[in-house]
Amino acid sequence: MLNFDFYSPARIVFGRGTEKEIGALLKPHASKVLLHYGGGSIKKSGLYDTVTASLKKAGIAFTELGGVQPNPRLTLVHEGIALCKREGVELILAVGGGSVIDSAKAIAMGVYYDGDIWDIYESGDSVSRALPVATVLTIPAAGSEASGDTVISNEAEELKYGYSSAHLRPLLSVMNPELFFTLPKEQLGYGVADIMSHVFERYFTNTTHTDLTDGLCETVLKTVIKNAPLALANMSDYDAWSEIGFAGMVAHNGLVGMGRDEDWACHMMEHELSAIYDIAHGAGLAVLTPAWMKYVYRDNISMFVQFAVNVMGVKGSYREPEAIILEGIERLSAFFRSLGLPSTLAELGIDDSKLELMAKKATNIHFGEESPIGGLKKLFWQDALAIYRLAR
């Protein structure tokens, strides 16, 4: 196990009706907030009315900015920063999914940054402060409700970059699984693929003596595998959504990766797909993850056998570990397909024309010096290209 420093202060208020408490929860922290949301689902579901009524009841003034798109855009972030400065906003309340929350985090940093906030995503330089962000989560997926991460698309340059800072962990997040009932079915699949990927990126490691976090990772994965089909069969299954929601938060608040080297190659390669083709993050991950597994498993046979046996329930001859692994990967692919997820780049409408460009962008050689990605196996641009080709 490696040294680590874990601090995840985001308060999580979980359960039925909790969104009605948002005004009272924010009252000690701010008297003026920016209400930030997406393309309209919260108006359709009535959540907008619930949240604004709660803010009014608590005497919290608010200004609002809707219109966040999946793969949240830099242009709207700029607009939000100007609005917050003009209106003297003290806290940003993100009501939505990862895209809304990530946009809120970008605005929160941007308010205190003199230059273009995109510089920070490009340079990775640390920021010293940000406005506090609170969230009412409407989709279990990105884990942004408890993470210190934000991922923003610079649409003009077809770039999608992540940025992390301790200042970006939400102050508090409200999670009522009833709010997930209105999700379109394909979003369930995207969310599940993302949650599982957040675990995979930490689980598949060469670090040894990680019994506790191996077990936590496996439990999160099995919880999702058990409950996703239940939620898909009945989109109003509160208990199934509760398990998925809690799993999504734990998958990405950092805990399950403590003491281990992490990977993140699939995420880096997926961001290139989203940046150019504007696809759902989870859809890209569902396609790339099995391809990545097939490409790298020989570098750590025992880790992949453990996954196949403990998570995917494969039984086989110990003398044929590769057969066990390949069956585990096949079961994962079948699980993704059962949720309606795509399994090839072609299904996402992505042809061969930009595979090399994406492989070179993901490993940075397109911009200058190559910086290989991945922890379990270091991937250079030719490796990333081979994985994109395996996923065709």
| Residue 138 contacts ligand NZQ per CB under 6 A | yes
Residue 340 interacting partner from Zn ion, ligand NZQ, none (CB closer than 5 to 8 Å by kind): none
What is the residue-wise DSSP string for 251-294? HHSSGGGTTS----HHHHHHHHHHHHH---HHHHHHHHHHHHHH
**CB-CB contact of 68 with 96 (8 Å):** yes
| Residue 135 contacts ligand NZQ per CB under 6 A | no
Q: Nearest approach, Cβ of 314 to ligand NZQ (angstroms)?
A: 27
Neighbours of 15 (CB within 10 A): 13
| Residue 327 contacts Zn ion per CB under 5 A | no
| Residue 131 contacts ligand NZQ per CB under 6 A | no
| Residue 263 contacts Zn ion per CB under 5 A | no
Residue 262 interacting partner from Zn ion, ligand NZQ, none (CB closer than 5 to 8 Å by kind): none
Stretch of 91-99, 116-124, 212-220, 346-354 lying at the interface with ligand NZQ (CB under 6 A): 91-99
| Residue 144 contacts ligand NZQ per CB under 6 A | yes
Among 180, 200, 203, 336, binds ligand NZQ (CB under 6 A): 180
| Residue 263 one-letter amino acid | D
Residues 1-40 that bind ligand NZQ (CB under 6 A): 38-40
Task: Map residue 356 onto helix, strand or coil.
Answer: helix
| Residue 41 contacts ligand NZQ per CB under 6 A | yes
Stretch of 26-34, 178-186, 215-223, 232-240 lying at the interface with ligand NZQ (CB under 6 A): 178-186
| Residue 241 contacts ligand NZQ per CB under 6 A | no
List CB contacts of 52: < 8 A, sequence separation 6 or more.
35, 62
Q: Which is nearer to ligand NZQ, 23 or 96 (CB)?
A: 96
Q: Which is nearer to Zn ion, 280 or 355 (CB)?
A: 280
| Residue 96 contacts ligand NZQ per CB under 6 A | yes
**Which x/- pattern, by CB under 6 A, does the window 264-293 give for ligand NZQ?**
---x-------------xx-----------
Q: Which is nearer to ligand NZQ, 79 or 330 (CB)?
A: 79
> Rounded CA gap, 151 and 170, in Å?
15
**CB-CB contact of 194 with 284 (8 Å):** no
What is the Cα 75 distance to its own chain's centre?
21
What is the DSSP secondary structure assignment for residue 237, as one 8-state letter? Answer: -
What is the DSSP secondary structure assignment for residue 348, as one 8-state letter? Answer: G
**CB-CB contact of 16 with 174 (8 Å):** no
Helix 185-203 / helix 238-252 crossing angle, nearest 10 deg:
40
| Residue 194 contacts Zn ion per CB under 5 A | yes
305 token code pair: 């056998």
Neighbours of 200 (CB within 10 A): 25
Q: Which residue has the tokens 């793969």?
A: 71
- What residues make contact with ligand NZQ under the rule CB under 6 A? 38-42, 45, 70-71, 96-100, 102, 138-139, 141-144, 147, 149-151, 179-180, 182-183, 187, 190-191, 194, 252, 267, 281-282
- What residues make contact with Zn ion under the rule CB under 5 A? 194
